[in-house]
Copies of this chain bind each other. A is one copy, B any other.
Amino acid sequence: MAEQVRGRGPERRRGEVLLRAVHEAVLAEVAEVGLGQLTMEGIARRAATAKTSLYRRWSNPQDLLLDALHDAHPVEEPSPSGDDLRADLITALTLLVEWLTSPAANAVKAIMTERRRYPDLAEALYERVFDPRGGTFTHTVLRHYAEQGTIDSRLLTPIVFQIGEALVFKLLVDLDRFPTHDELAAIVDQAILPAVGVPRDAATVAEA
């Protein structure tokens, strides 16, 4: 049959190349139309491939999405330098924001938001993608400085570990944009450090 001209000659993607293209397409599709409108047709259109080719490998859009997430780059973990708590916390939050920028993170957010509606997806997300789970970002940094004695470890409760991440998410939702470096610094100075027993000094108060 006559093939639609893509570029000029007939170039047919296979295997790995096609797979990547499809993975990219799902993530883009989720970002654009949302989890609720994710369809095989839509993905096929965006990936410029045939529906048939999708059904050959996956049985529904969710399966495909999970596969794409499984394949996405893992989250980079912070590695505390060891002598500057404030700087390391800011770095940790910066890493968080960078991850949140990725297409994969976008899809993950969508799934978490609608997890009641797609329980299987959410569950599989934990099992197949979030294996590590638990402490990342500021958690890692805070534990490091507690072990080293800079922080009183009795202050490190589950709530305290969440302060930084919680504020980044809140800012993200409220302002619908990613926090700036200064805002991350403010989170560290005004919320995290006081909670772990480092009082704010005059300088921080003045510039706030």
Contact = CB atoms under 8 A, between A and B. Distances in A.
Interface of A: 32-37, 112-117, 152, 154-155, 157, 159-160, 162-163, 165-167, 169-171, 173-174, 176, 183, 186-187, 190-191, 194-195, 197, 199-200, 205-206, 208
Given A36-B37, A205-B154, A160 B191 contact: yes
Contacts of A117: 32-34
A167 B162 contact: yes
Nearest to A165: B170
A135 to B, nearest CB: 13
A197 B169 CA distance: 24
A54 B113 CA distance: 29
Given A112-B173, A173-B112, A195-B194, A163 B167 contact: yes
Contact of A114 (B34, B162, B183, B197): B34
B36 A154 contact: no
14 contacts: A32-B117, A34-B36, A36-B36, A113-B173, A154-B206, A160-B190, A160-B191, A162-B174, A166-B166, A166-B167, A166-B170, A169-B170, A170-B170, A194-B195
A114 B109 CA distance: 11
A186 B171 contact: no
Contacts of A187: 159
Contacts of A206: 154
Given A167-B162, A194-B195, A208 B115 contact: no
A194 B156 CA distance: 13
A185 B166 CA distance: 17
